[in-house]
Amino acid sequence: MSPSPSRRKRHAQAASSAGVITLKQVAQEAGVSPSTVSRILNGTATVSVDKKAAIDAAIAKLGFQPNPVARGLAGGRTLSIGVVTQTISSPFYGEALRGIEDQLEPAGYIPIFVSGHWREAEERKAISALLSRRVDALLVLAGRLPDEELQALSLRVPLVVVGRKLQGPQLFSLEFDNLTGARLAARHLLDLGHRRIAFIAGDPAHNDALDRLAGYRQALEEAGEPVDPTLILPGDFTETGGLLAATRLLESRQPFTAIFAANDQTAIGAALGLHRRNIRIPDDVSVVGFDDLAPARFATPPLTTVRQSVYEMGAQAAGAVLSLLRGEAPQVVLPVPELVPRESTRRLLR
């Protein structure tokens, strides 16, 4: 008997995914060594023209697709990017993820989305799971992790952060111009003659929220209007938060003629709160949102808001990741925020 002649077959079941072609088979077909195939695959060295042709032909003929898992193990690259999102089901993150996906796909990278749910511990866990899967880079959308922690993280893996101001050799961040956007929104209301303008804030742990509040204040100050703290209500970027805030505002009996909400979802919740008390938009109260996502466009009445392309933000962030991976300095140009007047605002009648 020949000694263990079936050794080769031990892993037969690992290849259960049918007749998967390996690099080795391509090499055989092309009459070269696996190393050479690998090299042309990775553009890692110059290869003679005829061999390249033979290999290309073999790849095409066999329909070879390199196994990213093996590449990951051997080369330390997995062609996957870990993306830490907060609430995968919100329209905001949905748009951003779409931008990321669209940008990464043509480059051959695949995003792996994990939700942090605005909880520090969960974000940390998500990142650890992503790292253990050897993602090539990380893209963190907002969240509550301390800046220092992200800074430290970027020592281990290329990192792009949305909604912070951070930088480092392998660290890049980008932000909307929330301040300008919010000033636009508030000024729009001021221009329409509104003076008692309430603001429903976003999650205070979120830079965007802080900047939008600052923009609101600034616009009022620029117009020489006092900032009345009783008109500033807490919110959390959700419809429920907006509904609650509007209800509280109404109960406080503070006079007001307009509401500027920190995002569209908040504005829509607030609109419902007004509706419940038979207050009509825009006849009785004007409402402005922020983001210009689908819910704003299709609200009844359609919501005046500030357009920030969340999709573009996602795409640019993903582009920055790709730059970092190539060892280049990311170059991003975000579209400037723009006011989109629709039917939820109107001139104040005296």
Partner DNA sequence: CTGAAAGCGCTTACAG
The residues of the shown chain that bind a second copy, judged by CB under 8 A, are: 11, 13-14, 16-18, 65-70, 72-73, 75-76, 78, 80, 87-91, 93-95, 97-98, 101, 110-115, 128-129, 131-134, 156-157, 239, 243, 265, 268-269, 271-272, 275, 281, 294-295, 297-302
Identify what 224 binds: a second copy, DNA, none; CB under 5 to 8 Å per kind: none
CB 166 within 8 A of CB 150: yes
Nearer to DNA, 20 or 336 (CB): 20
Instruction: For residues 213 and 119, give the distance between their C-alpha atoms in angstroms, rounded to a whole number.
Output: 23
Q: Which of 71, 98, 117, 119 binds DNA (CB under 7 A)?
A: 71
Instruction: For residues 340 and 350, give the distance between their C-alpha atoms in angstroms, rounded to a whole number.
Output: 25
79 binds DNA (CB under 7 A): no
Nearer to a second copy, 110 or 214 (CB): 110
**Six token digits for residue 10:** 């031990």
146 binds DNA (CB under 7 A): no
Beta-carbon count within 10 A of 312 CB: 18
Q: Scanning the structure block, which residue is given the tokens 């969240």?
A: 143
Query: Each residue of 170-192: b (16+ CB within 10 Å) or e?
Result: bbbbbbbbbbbbbbbbbbbbbeb
Instruction: For residues 24 and 21, give the distance between their C-alpha atoms in angstroms, rounded to a whole number.
Output: 8
1 binds DNA (CB under 7 A): no
Write down the least CB distance from residue 178 to a second copy, Å. 21
252 binds DNA (CB under 7 A): no
**Exposed, middle or buried by CB within 10 Å (0-12, 13-18, 19+), for 228?**
middle
325 binds DNA (CB under 7 A): no
Using the rule CB under 7 A, give the single segment among 64-72, 197-205, 325-333, 334-342 that binds DNA: 64-72
Write down the least CB distance from residue 258 to a second copy, Å. 17
Nearer to DNA, 32 or 231 (CB): 32
The secondary structure of 12-25 as a DSSP string is: GGGGGSSS---HHH
Nearer to DNA, 23 or 160 (CB): 23
**Six token digits for residue 277:** 């008390």
Nearer to DNA, 53 or 155 (CB): 53
Rounded CA Rg of the chain: 27
Identify what 290 binds: a second copy, DNA, none; CB under 5 to 8 Å per kind: none
137 binds DNA (CB under 7 A): no
Nearer to a second copy, 184 or 244 (CB): 244
Identify what 282 binds: a second copy, DNA, none; CB under 5 to 8 Å per kind: none
Alpha helix segments (H runs only) across the chain:
23-30, 34-42, 49-62, 68-75, 91-104, 120-132, 147-153, 178-191, 207-222, 239-252, 264-276, 294-297, 310-325
Q: Provide the 3-class DSSP secondary structure of residue 108.
A: coil
Instruction: For residues 81 and 100, give the distance between their C-alpha atoms in angstroms, rounded to a whole number.
Output: 10
Q: Which of 2, 14, 253, 255 binds DNA (CB under 7 A)?
A: 14
Residue 77 forms beta bridges with which residues? none
Q: Which of 2, 46, 89, 278 binds DNA (CB under 7 A)?
A: 46
Write down the least CB distance from residue 138 to DNA, Å. 19
**Six token digits for residue 123:** 């974000």
Write down the least CB distance from residue 95 to a second copy, Å. 5
128 binds DNA (CB under 7 A): no
**Six token digits for residue 59:** 């790849």
Q: Which of 29, 38, 199, 200 binds DNA (CB under 7 A)?
A: 38
CB 265 within 8 A of CB 295: yes
Identify what 166 binds: DNA, a second copy, none; CB under 5 to 8 Å per kind: none
Q: Which residues bind DNA (CB under 7 A)?
A: 3-4, 6-8, 10-11, 13-15, 20-24, 32-39, 41-42, 44-48, 51, 64-67, 70-71, 73-76
